[in-house]
Amino acid sequence: MKNFDELIKKKLECARKRGFYRTVDLFAGCGGMSLGFHRAGFRCVSSVEIDDKARASHELNFHKAAAPFLYKAHPDITKITPEESVAHLASLCADSTEAVDVVIGGPPCQAFSRLGRAALWRLAGKDHAHGEDKRATMYAYYLQYVAKLKPIAFVMENVREIGKHVGKNIAEEIALTAEELGYNVRYTLLNAVWFGVPQLRERTFIIGIHKSLQAEPVFPAISHKYKLPVGYSTSRAGTGHIEFLEPHDHYVDHLEFAKRTSPAVTAEQAFVDLPPIKHHLDGRKGKGHPRRTEDKMLYGSASNEFTRNMRNWPGFRNNGTEVSGHIIRYTPRDYETFRRMPNGGMYPEALATAEVIFQEELSNLEKKLGKPIRHGSHDWQELRDAIVPPYKPDRYPNKFRKMWANQPSRTVPAHIGKDAYSHIHFDSSQARGISLREAARLQSFPDGFKMCGSMNAQLKQIGNAVPPLLAYAVATQLSQSLCGVSTEISQKTNLSKTGSPGGRRKLKCH
């Protein structure tokens, strides 16, 4: 049996000499997590994603970032073993345990299950593990990769509800299982707005570092201050209030600020260099205006630190004067409602606004016809259907939401792939849902990052993704932690060889 402690140290030294850490991204989506890690000096060599369009997006962007034949995308984690996922690296490695340095990824939130820790351990230790409900075993497949590939570290992302699911703290069960696999593990809640993302989006991060390195996982210091509204559990971080059920021994109540902080990035700041879209309001639906995702429009002249970051992201720069993907859905029934409803308003306000518009238009039509229109008649119903949305206010109170210009956006959901009502543009003169490019900006995807599929497919990918700037903050902190360990190991090695620290090479860590 291999001495895994020595294997981990060998992999850390090889990564130092190579100049980057190799990652496998599980449940990779289009690559939000990989993109943040890429910027921090990690390189994805293998990804696993079942959605065809998302997998194509990941491959399009990260295959070019790897040396020839050093990247491969796989479709279904239930039909491929960890060893098979890195088999294309066989010429570089003695076996699969030497192929990958860090495992990253976010198992789908549908995977919340009634599995106990014993079941997670059992599944993680098998090559082909299948529970009664495949969705309930997704965490176990992730842990299987940790068990089989023996990474230096791993980073798992998921929704906050992972800490309170059917009376259990799944995050703690995952941490305990990973601890038995040989890792020091910690987890916490991080909000994307704390790290320069123009969006309130809180997620659980679980980080493990192999015990042989004697390093405890550390979470990134908060770089952007913002007073979080009620409903976001991280607003209570640092107060001792814990959003995870007991036991939560591996939980960290994280609220560490950087020495220098900036204000949160607002929606207006995120969109400032994107040209306004108004052609839909006068019936010019297409001719001479972008409709395809690859169509381009000229940037505006305004800019700020965030927009420059989005246009000049290392490895994904958009050096031209034009931006693609700035296209919208056409929803003519709702334009006037979008225009009139208050900023911050949700579906009840939208419905009330639409009712006022309907009464105005009904009165105008009655004057035009010179007679009253009977309530419930064909003409009455036809006019109402053309103005008033049909959803019940008590069932879908959050279906509509008009953004504030001077605040970060609320969470961008995967459902935005079906409609953009959850993110109505704050500028009433534009009276529309946000564009594809604006959704990407709210998630901090750079303009040079390319996605595959239709507008709807791309919006779904965006909503499902880890915000790249959040991933970058986590990856940077992990890189610093591993770099410190690598330096310490190198010093001890040199001392054991020479008896003194003289002649020690300066380490190059990324």
Please state, in angstroms and as integers, the Cα–Cα distance from residue 332 to each residue in 173, 284, 323, 325, 362, following that order: 49, 12, 25, 20, 18
Residues 6+ positions from 19 with CB-CB distance below 8 Å: 41, 508, 510
Q: Which two tokens stand for residue 144?
A: 């299987």
- Name the 3-class secondary structure at 405: coil
Which residue, 166, 215, 216, is CA-closest to 187?
216
CA distance 335 to 392: 19
CA distance 74 to 86: 10
CA distance 269 to 304: 7
Residues 6+ positions from 372 with CB-CB distance below 8 Å: 366
Based on the residue annotation, tell me whether 509 is a catalytic residue of this protein: no
Please state, in angstroms and as integers, the Cα–Cα distance from residue 377 to each residue in 206, 373, 374, 381, 383, following that order: 58, 7, 5, 6, 10
Q: Which two tokens stand for residue 374?
A: 């009977």
Select which of 44, 109, 452, 483 is catalytic: 109
Contact predicate 100/107, CB 8 Å: no
- Active-site positions read 109
